[in-house]
Amino acid sequence: MQKHQPTNSVHRTMCLLYALITVLMLASCLKGSSREQYHSRTQFAMNTLCTVILYGEANPDVHTAVFARIDEIESRMNNFLPDSDISRINAAAGIQPITVHEEVFFMIKRAKYFAEISGGAFDPTIGPLVSLWGVTTENPSVPESGEINNALSFINWNDITLDEEALTVFLNRRGMSLDLGAIAKGYAADEAVALIKAAGVDRAIVDLGGNVFTVGMKDVQTQTPWNVGLRNPFQGKSPHIGIISGGDITVVTSGVDQRYFEEGGVRYHHLFSPFDGYPAQNGLVSVTVTAAVSADADALSTAAFVLGYEKGSALIESYDGAEAIFVFDDKSIRKTSGASFVLRDETFHLVSDEGSLPKVSFALFPFAQQHL
Ligand code: ADP
Ligand code: MG
């Protein structure tokens, strides 16, 4: 039995590499305006490397405030930190409601919304499955089917009880646990951008381990947008397979290439189907979502990955302002109708099926909670 997993240090190194590549790539966007100043800071937070690039006059206080805010969000929402609000909710599952910080409450409420519109493909009560598989731990392994069924019995976003007046959260049954890993980084990116704008910085790039948010335009005078590279999910020659352009947009990727282990020649990644309890397997290797709000793009990228291309693209098409790029294991790429993606790596090929996916309400898709 062959086993491999990116250990924390390997994972950190990989993150560093991605961060450096992204920074180089973003810095290269400055060609033609080389006299312009920019200031970059990278720190490890939210279990990944976070880079914040600010343009214009140096103001270290803005960097410090942004990273302090990211740490604050993590201290409230990371279920691996025993004192976080999420850990306190989990410890009280089936016992009592817990009063949480307002922003935690509203993030859980938002997560429930994405669970609802994705028919449960995105589910913030995924915690028991994440622990069972332990993909990002030192000892991941493929569980027995009985263990998987047992974990599945605790996963249901309908069993999160929210009291908006009291700001309390209650998990209805013992054994349930929340995991906001698929949305919290996006929220942190939104908050980082809000702080940056409030500080008067009008052009910046925030990259929280692949959750990218661009502020303003690359060149205000010519209204030239930023170019964000779409990460190559294969270990190919090019770090990026294409370009997404935009100003004030967020670009978020969920993929199988960064957190996984291998057993018996099969790769098991960290994006779980709440329907069968296994890492989602549908031919996709990554889904990248662009939107105006990073928390939305984060949740939608995980949801669309788990749903697979047909249902996933229907969800994105039905969501105002969101677009997506789907990369498949045969190196084909599909995108939603409004996605501004330009392919750069010719070993991939863009499949056009424009018109085949009409704009329909996602509510028309009858997803059942199949695991219940
Ligand atoms: P990453 O964290 O690698 O950027 P995602 O945003 O897609 O990627 O989040 C993946 C994380 O979300 C997992 O590590 C796990 O904690 C959690 N997760 C896994 N499957 C689901 C799911 N179906 N719904 C909600 N959260 C999930
Ligand atoms: Mg996500």
Ligand 1 centroid–CA 222 distance in Å is 38
pLDDT band at 24 (very low <50, low <70, confident <90, very high): very low
Query: For position 136, what pLDDT does the model report?
Result: 85
How do residues 145-178 score in pLDDT, each as one tens digit?
A: 999 999 999 999 999 999 999 999 999 999 999 9
How do residues 332-348 score in pLDDT, each as one tens digit?
A: 999 999 999 999 999 99
- The single-letter DSSP state of residue 236 is -
Shortest-distance atom of ligand 1 to CA 135: 14
Among residues of the chain, what percentage have pLDDT more than 70?
85
* Measured CA distances, 274 to 125, 149, 166, 185 (Å): 9, 10, 29, 21
104 belongs to a structural domain: yes
Query: For position 14, what pLDDT does the model report?
Result: 52
Strand boundaries in 84-238, DSSP class E: 98-99, 160-163, 168-171, 204-208, 211-215, 226-231
Pocket-testing residue among 22, 117, 250, 271, ligand 1, by greatest number of atoms within 8 A of Cβ: 271
How do residues 200-209 score in pLDDT, each as one tens digit?
A: 999 999 999 9
| Higher per-residue pLDDT: 173 or 5 | 173
Strand partners, 324: 289
Residues 6+ apart with CB under 8 A from 122: 111, 114, 115, 182, 299, 300, 302, 303, 306
Shortest-distance atom of ligand 1 to CA 305: 7
Domain extent for 100: 75-171
| Higher per-residue pLDDT: 45 or 16 | 45
99 belongs to a structural domain: yes
Least confident of 4-18, 53-67, 281-295, 348-362: 4-18
Whether residue 119 has its Cβ less than 6 Å from ligand 1: no
Query: For position 32, what pLDDT does the model report?
Result: 40
Q: Which residue, by CA, sits nearest to atom 4 of ligand 1?
A: 254
131 belongs to a structural domain: yes
| 13 pLDDT above the threshold of 80 | no
Query: For position 57, what pLDDT does the model report?
Result: 86
How do residues 72-85 score in pLDDT, each as one tens digit?
A: 999 999 999 999 99
Q: Which residues of 127-137 are buried (b: 16+ CB within 10 A; e: fewer)?
A: bbbbebbebbe
Query: What is the side-by-side strand order in the sheet with 48-55?
Result: 38-45, 48-55, 204-208, 211-215, 250-255, 284-291, 323-328, 332-335, 349-350
Residue range 296-316: mean pLDDT, rounded = 98
Ligand 2 centroid–CA 75 distance in Å is 19
Residue range 257-275: mean pLDDT, rounded = 91
Query: For position 354, what pLDDT does the model report?
Result: 54
CA distance 58 to 211: 24
103 belongs to a structural domain: yes
Whether residue 186 has its Cβ less than 6 Å from ligand 1: no
**Domain CATH number, residue 100:** 1.10.3980.10
Pocket-testing residue among 110, 114, 179, ligand 1, by greatest number of atoms within 8 A of Cβ: 179
8 Å CB contact between 123 and 151: no
| 189 pLDDT above the threshold of 60 | yes
143 belongs to a structural domain: yes
Ligand 2 centroid–CA 280 distance in Å is 14
- Please give the tally of structural domains in the chain: 1
Residues 6+ apart with CB under 8 A from 92: 98, 170, 171
341 belongs to a structural domain: no
How do residues 207-253 score in pLDDT, each as one tens digit?
A: 999 899 999 999 888 989 999 999 999 977 778 999 999 889 999 99
| Higher per-residue pLDDT: 25 or 335 | 335
Query: For position 35, what pLDDT does the model report?
Result: 58
Q: Which residue, by CA, sits nearest to atom 6 of ligand 1?
A: 182
Mean confidence (pLDDT) of the chain = 88
Query: For position 200, what pLDDT does the model report?
Result: 95
269 belongs to a structural domain: no
Q: Which residue, by CA, sits nearest to atom 9 of ligand 1?
A: 182
163 belongs to a structural domain: yes
**Alpha-carbon torsion (172, 181, 111, 42), positive or negative:** positive
β pairing state of 260-263 and 226-231: unpaired
pLDDT band at 359 (very low <50, low <70, confident <90, very high): very low
β pairing state of 250-255 and 211-215: antiparallel
